[in-house]
């Protein structure tokens, strides 16, 4: 892409409204230092010196988009646990709309913890229940996409991650029924991390 074209896209991006639907995660970084090896097993003992939290997954996509676009919202599910509350606080602090997020007491917020020592990642701990979306979650996401559309044209440019094919197909089918091509979700690739997690792109900023 030519530099002039990139500048043109970025200049036009600020006026777009984008909704990102997908896995909302909390990324946790535990920082520390290693001074010895554990006597229990041949692994390093990390002395924790600090912690950091950032939006992850689809929430991270929204965070990156917010650097260029004012009207960014997220559609997805978090739990009513402390991690879910922390994630929503982080998104709201960056002025990302969260009114389309489902807070489900039966759902555990996805948390991915990275333990880092001496500028190297020692281990990653995933707290995630691998399961397909419930009917309640699917209905919430598709309804949220339609509500976002009703507020104004849902311009593309965002990549939308979904945990289930049927969730994307449901949104796609409803968007086609409304004759809104910019809402159509086209499959691009299958993630290597999870077989049922697909990568979609909604429209284009061009």
Position 73 scores a pLDDT of 87
Q: Which residue has better confidence, 14 or 126?
A: 126
Confidence category of residue 166, pLDDT binned at 50, 70, 90: low
| E strand or H helix that includes residue 126 | strand 120-127
Position 182 scores a pLDDT of 36
Confidence category of residue 159, pLDDT binned at 50, 70, 90: very low
Position 109 scores a pLDDT of 95
Q: Which residue has better confidence, 91 or 69?
A: 91
Q: Side by side, which strands form the sheet with 110-117?
A: 44-57, 24-37, 110-117, 120-127
Using CB atoms within 10 Å of the CB of residue 92, give its burial: 0 to 12 exposed, 13 to 18 middle, 19+ buried. Answer: exposed
Q: Residue ranges of the domains in the chain?
A: 15-202
**Per-residue pLDDT tens digits for 15-38:** 777 888 888 999 999 999 998 999
Is the model's pLDDT at 52 over the cut of 50? yes
Instruction: Write down the mean pLDDT value for the chain.
Output: 75
Position 174 scores a pLDDT of 56
Position 79 scores a pLDDT of 94
Q: Side by side, which strands form the sheet with 198-202?
A: 159-162, 198-202, 185-190
Position 75 scores a pLDDT of 84
Quote the CA–CA distance of 34 and 191 in Å, as a whole number.
Answer: 34
In the chain, pLDDT over 90 holds for what percent of residues? 37
Position 194 scores a pLDDT of 28
Nearest partner of 123 among 5, 43, 186, judged by Cα:
43
In the chain, pLDDT over 70 holds for what percent of residues? 67
Determine the topology of domain 15-202 in CATH.
3.40.1190
Position 167 scores a pLDDT of 54
Position 10 scores a pLDDT of 73
**Per-residue pLDDT tens digits for 107-150:** 999 999 999 998 899 999 999 987 766 777 777 777 766 666 55
């Amino acid at each position: 892409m030519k530099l002039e074209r990139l500048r043109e896209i970025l200049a036009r991006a600020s006026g777009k409204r984008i909704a990102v639907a997908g896995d909302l995660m909390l990324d946790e970084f535990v920082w520390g230092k290693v001074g010895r090896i554990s006597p229990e097993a041949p692994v390093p003992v990390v002395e924790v010196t600090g912690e950091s939290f950032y939006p992850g997954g689809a929430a991270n996509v929204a965070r990156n988009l917010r650097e260029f676009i004012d009207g960014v919202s997220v559609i997805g599910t978090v739990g009513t646990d402390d991690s879910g509350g922390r994630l929503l606080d982080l998104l709201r602090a960056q002025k990302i709309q969260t009114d389309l997020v489902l807070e489900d007491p039966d759902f555990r917020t996805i948390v991915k913890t990275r333990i880092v020592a001496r500028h190297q990642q020692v281990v990653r701990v995933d707290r995630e229940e691998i399961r397909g979306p419930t009917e309640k979650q699917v209905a919430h996401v598709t309804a949220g996409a339609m509500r976002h559309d009703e507020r104004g044209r849902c311009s593309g440019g965002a990549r939308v991650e979904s945990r289930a094919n049927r969730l994307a197909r449901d949104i796609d089918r409803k968007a086609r029924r409304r004759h809104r091509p910019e809402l159509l979700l086209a499959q691009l690739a299958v993630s290597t991390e999870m077989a049922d997690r697909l990568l979609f792109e909604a429209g284009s900023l061009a």
